[in-house]
Amino acid sequence: MNSPQYRRILYRSLATGNHGRRDLSPILAVSRLNNGLDGISGLLWTDGHRYVQLLEGPPDSVALTFARIARDPRHEAIEIADDSVATERVFGDWTMADLAGGADEDNRERLMAALRDAPAAVRRAFEEAAT
């Protein structure tokens, strides 16, 4: 039997205006709703100025979702750090995990464990972003 193929896009961007300092919850709410329907999982990190997001899922869904996100005026200077195909998800438990605080302890621990087990490119991108 063929393994599933997931496309994984990891990008960085900069928040425009004061979007980064605003509550992330409207973005997360839409993301979780859409991503749940589209079979997308991932992680969104922000420090209030920069975003780093990983999207993973069926290739067509990832392409459509990323195209929509790339047009969003709430951020700019989008740079793709990694675009690859994988047979397993890194964040399969999350329609969009949030690494911006607010996540409860349990979630944070599961997230850190997922990052520890993530491919080196993914781990490095989030480590670099967070420093």
Ligand X SMILES: Cc1cc2nc3c(=O)[nH]c(=O)nc-3n(C[C@H](O)[C@H](O)[C@H](O)COP(=O)(O)O)c2cc1C
Binding residues for ligand X (CB under 6 A): 27, 30-31, 34-35, 44, 51, 53, 55, 65, 68-69, 72, 74-75, 96
User: C-beta of 126: minimal distance to ligand X in Å?
Assistant: 14
User: C-beta of 120: minimal distance to ligand X in Å?
Assistant: 23
CB-side neighbour CA atoms (13 Å) of 42: 29
Chain mean position to CA 95: 9
Q: Please give the helix or strand (H or E) that residue 86 lies within, else none.
A: strand 75-86
Rounded to the nearest 5 degrees, what angle is found at the Cα of 121, between the Cα atoms of 77 and 45? 50
If the CB atoms of residues 27 and 90 are measured against ligand X, the closer one turns out to be: 27
If the CB atoms of residues 31 and 118 are measured against ligand X, the closer one turns out to be: 31
* Integer-rounded Cα radius of gyration of the chain: 14
Phi-psi sector, 21: left (phi>0), alpha (psi -120 to 50), beta: alpha
If the CB atoms of residues 3 and 115 are measured against ligand X, the closer one turns out to be: 115
User: 82 with 8: CB under 8 angstroms?
Assistant: yes
User: C-beta of 47: minimal distance to ligand X in Å?
Assistant: 12
If the CB atoms of residues 57 and 120 are measured against ligand X, the closer one turns out to be: 57
User: C-beta of 110: minimal distance to ligand X in Å?
Assistant: 19
